[in-house]
Amino acid sequence: MRKIRAASSALGQTQAEAPSSIDRLLFFDRDFNPIENFLGNELPASVKPAASLWEHFPQLDKSAITLAFRSLDDSVQPLRISGDLGGSGSHGLTIYRIGNLFAVVRSDELVDDERATLLHLATHDPLTGLPNRRQFSDDLAELLQESAGSNETLSLMQLDLDDFKPVNDTLGHPAGDKLLQFAARRIQDCLTSDDRAYRLAGDEFTVISRGSGHPAKAHRLAEALVAAFKKPFTIDGIAVFVGTSIGISTAPPDGTSPEELMKASDLALYAAKQDGRGRPKAFDPEMLELLEQRELLRRSLRMALAQQQFFVEYQPISEAGSVVGFEALLRWNHPLLGKIPPASFIPMAEADGLMPEIGAWVLEQACREAMNWPENYIVAVNLSAAEFLTSGLTDRVSQTLDLVGLPPERLELEITESVLLERTVNNIDTLNTLNVLGIRISLDDFGTEYSSLSYLKTFPFDTIKIDKYFITDLESDSKSQTIVRCIVNLAHGLDMQVTAEGVETPAQAEWLHSVGCDRLQGYLVSRPLPVEAMSEFINRAETSVSHALV
């Protein structure tokens, strides 16, 4: 006969009550199914079950045990089961609730050392040995409560490793695991007795710093951590450089609850990454205002297309002094905030999966507007990475051209090098299909991202666009002149045209013409034009060409 009872305390057994040994330690989820991955890390085979609790111990009364734990609610009291469990003889089971998990020990009782081992497994990260997220939450809540009673301050630091993913991708996950272990040691080496580090998940770490002198003390510690991560890690004989970005918050000025403090340090961490990574950043209330603005934009963005808040402007492209077409530029007129720069909302649209729908609208609008232009004018439309990588792109483009009636040779699709990071078969097929359809392909912002000459050999481009970064100081900077001259010669050698963006002065235009640059785009030719101004601009452009031919 088996008896079920709640033990007096999870940690309250006396040495006299403890038995001599434990036969097995197993972990299960809340449904008593086997745990394959515990706290994000693989368990040793000795503590990882291969079957459910009921398959291990078929003699157990499932209903009684489930009911017993329900009646115990979230108490820390373990459940003791005594009697003949079959197999190797008479044993007892102790079932411990640990968060959303159950730890099951087959024995008569737990000895102190074994209980300590179980507690350590529940509160520490097996890979780095640092306290885990569960322990961090408990410690932060307790320390904040203590600080509130003593008028002391403490600081919380959130650390993210910069460029950690490429290590996993290039050297493999075992190397990534070693790097995390080395990173944990490096963090601990910077700490004092008033500080404690934790690993939350992946490459996310936190540090709680106490003592006097905050927030200045936290800033000094954060600077020391950033400096420590500037030194290379050696993994299997390979030097690996991985920095860290740090967000800092201080209690009580930045918050008095764990949630408030975590949110503040998270915002500071985001700001540190936005500023270039590899640096610490302290929370500022303005960060919260910026977050609220971003969230307002994100919510508004989902309604912008349906409410017709988007519109398109067109910037002229000139060749040999004549206009040959326009680039379509997406704009957003927010009902409360006014005009929103594309750099502010396009990344949001890409991240939220809205860009394919928005891009399809821009393409149709631009093609319809181009039907009002002279038949020799092209229309250039930008394709974001999110649009390009969405299946069915070529069909959508072809259907739009058929719907509007625009000849494919009048459409030029602009893509950036970030789209082509992976020279996959699908990417090559997409560009080749567009090329076969007669659509022109332009490589935008050449030279500013992940420039690789292999792109020019692998993909069928008609045009290379030189980014305005190289045009701005073209009149005075010999390095920019050398780079632009090389790009023009390279493109022409590959039978491609060259367009220079951001041309603003006659001197820039004259120099570009002297080296054979085919097309110019920028304020010197014209600022982007609203639809209402297109007809007048085209009439003036065509009239000036006619006069030049007379």
More confident site: 449 or 519 = 519
- Is the per-residue pLDDT at 2 higher than 80? no
Same domain, residue pair 338 and 469: yes
The pLDDT score that the predictor gives to residue 389 is 80
Q: What is the pLDDT of residues 457-472, one digit of tens each?
A: 777 789 999 989 899 9
The pLDDT score that the predictor gives to residue 309 is 94
The pLDDT score that the predictor gives to residue 50 is 77
Which structural domain, as residue segments, surrounds residue 458? 301-549
Q: Please give the helix or strand (H or E) that residue 546 lies within, else none.
A: helix 534-549
State mean pLDDT over 260-266: 92
Same domain, residue pair 442 and 469: yes
In a domain, 296, yes or no: no
- Is the per-residue pLDDT at 20 higher than 70? no
In a domain, 391, yes or no: yes
Same domain, residue pair 165 and 207: yes
C-alpha span between 229 and 472 (Å, rounded): 36
Same domain, residue pair 225 and 308: no
H helices of 48-88, in order, are 53-56, 62-72
Rg of the chain in Å (alpha carbons): 32
- Mark which of 230, 256, 283 sits at the end of a domain: 283
State mean pLDDT over 338-347: 87
Same domain, residue pair 312 and 265: no
Q: Tokens in use for 488?
A: 């023009």
Q: What is the pLDDT of residues 123-180, one digit of tens each?
A: 888 888 899 998 999 999 999 988 877 777 899 999 999 988 888 888 888 888 899 9
In a domain, 540, yes or no: yes
Res. 9 pLDDT band, cuts 50 70 90: very low
C-alpha span between 37 and 126 (Å, rounded): 11
In a domain, 274, yes or no: yes
State mean pLDDT over 319-329: 94
The pLDDT score that the predictor gives to residue 8 is 33
Same domain, residue pair 139 and 264: yes
Least confident residue range of 287-291, 357-361, 465-469: 287-291
State mean pLDDT over 207-228: 92
Give the chain's domain count.
3
- Kindly report the CATH number assigned to the domain that includes residue 469: 3.20.20.450
Q: What is the pLDDT of residues 85-115, one digit of tens each?
A: 655 444 577 888 776 678 887 765 545 555 6
The pLDDT > 90 percentage for the chain reads 45
Residue matched to tokens 């991708």: 169
Same domain, residue pair 311 and 459: yes
- Is the per-residue pLDDT at 406 higher than 90? yes
Other C-beta atoms lying within 10 Å of the C-beta of residue 326: 27
SS3 assignment, position 176: helix
Other C-beta atoms lying within 10 Å of the C-beta of residue 255: 19
- Kindly report the CATH number assigned to the domain that includes residue 190: 3.30.70.270
Contact yes or no for 90/83 (Cβ under 8 A) = yes
Same domain, residue pair 311 and 455: yes
State the Cα torsion 188-192-198-199 to the nearest 10°.
Answer: -20
The pLDDT score that the predictor gives to residue 287 is 85
In a domain, 291, yes or no: no
- Mark which of 123, 145, 168 sits at the end of a domain: 123
Same domain, residue pair 171 and 107: no
Highest mean pLDDT pick, 50-64, 444-458, 501-515 = 501-515
Per-chain mean pLDDT for the chain = 83
Res. 508 pLDDT band, cuts 50 70 90: very high
Res. 36 pLDDT band, cuts 50 70 90: low
State mean pLDDT over 58-87: 67
More confident site: 259 or 119 = 259
In a domain, 503, yes or no: yes
In a domain, 387, yes or no: yes
- Mark which of 229, 257, 283 sits at the end of a domain: 283
- Is the per-residue pLDDT at 506 higher than 90? yes
More confident site: 318 or 122 = 318
Same domain, residue pair 404 and 305: yes
Res. 45 pLDDT band, cuts 50 70 90: low
The pLDDT score that the predictor gives to residue 422 is 55
Same domain, residue pair 364 and 501: yes
Helix axes 355-370, 342-351, angle to 10 degrees: 130
Q: What is the pLDDT of residues 379-398, one digit of tens each?
A: 999 998 888 888 889 999 99
In a domain, 164, yes or no: yes
Nearest CA to 3 out of 61, 42, 58, 57 is that of 61
Which residues have a Cβ under 8 Å from the Cβ of 124 and sit 6 or more positions away? 130, 131, 132, 135
C-alpha span between 422 and 92 (Å, rounded): 57
State mean pLDDT over 247-260: 91
Region for 522 from its dihedrals, namely left if φ exceeds 0, alpha if ψ lies in -120 to 50, beta otherwise: left
The pLDDT score that the predictor gives to residue 65 is 79
- Is the per-residue pLDDT at 233 higher than 90? yes
Nearest CA to 446 out of 412, 425, 472, 469 is that of 469
Same domain, residue pair 277 and 216: yes
Q: What is the pLDDT of residues 306-321, one digit of tens each?
A: 899 999 999 999 998 8
H helices of 214-311, in order, are 216-228, 258-274, 285-304
Q: Tokens in use for 541?
A: 């452009």
- Is the per-residue pLDDT at 75 higher than 60? no
Q: What is the pLDDT of residues 417-459, one digit of tens each?
A: 777 665 567 788 888 899 999 999 998 878 666 556 777 777 7
State mean pLDDT over 511-523: 95
Residue matched to tokens 């040959």: 324
The pLDDT score that the predictor gives to residue 550 is 34
